[in-house]
Amino acid sequence: MSEHRKQRLADFATWVKDHITGDEKGQAQIFLDRLFQAFGQKGVLEVGGTPEFRIRKGKEDGGGTSFADLVWKPWVLIEMKRRGENLQKHYRQAFDYWTRLVPSHSS
């Protein structure tokens, strides 16, 4: 990793410490946009990412719509949680979102 990228990521980590409290609803999009910038991108939208991407729930899950915090097809799905949350409890949610997005690749 280049020294320039290391410095951008260190600056991002400092910015997060100073500005992000861990509130998923109010800060996820800001956090993600700054994260993409730290990796040298202009931002989430500029790379083709979609914040609050709508995902239809299956009938077995009651139907309706869920929202993934970020989808950047075909590269990544990001589901944010508040700081301190046990992420293991939410693995299934992200897995279900992904299999709905790429059903031909689900098992």
Indicate the pLDDT class of residue 72, thresholds 50, 70 and 90: very high
Mean pLDDT over 20-29 rounds to 87
The model carries a pTM of 0.81
Residue 2: DSSP 8-state = -
> Which of 83-90's residues contact partners 24+ apart within 8 Å by CB, and which partners?
83/20, 83/21, 83/22, 84/22
Q: What is the pLDDT of residue 105?
A: 52
Give the residue ranges of DSSP H helices in 2-106: 3-19, 24-38, 91-101
Tens digits of per-residue pLDDT, 27-56? 999 999 999 999 999 999 999 999 999 998
Tens digits of per-residue pLDDT, 85-107? 999 989 988 998 988 888 665 44
Question: Can the peptide bond before residue 74 be classed as cis, meaning omega within 30 degrees of 0?
Answer: yes
Summary mean pLDDT of the chain: 90
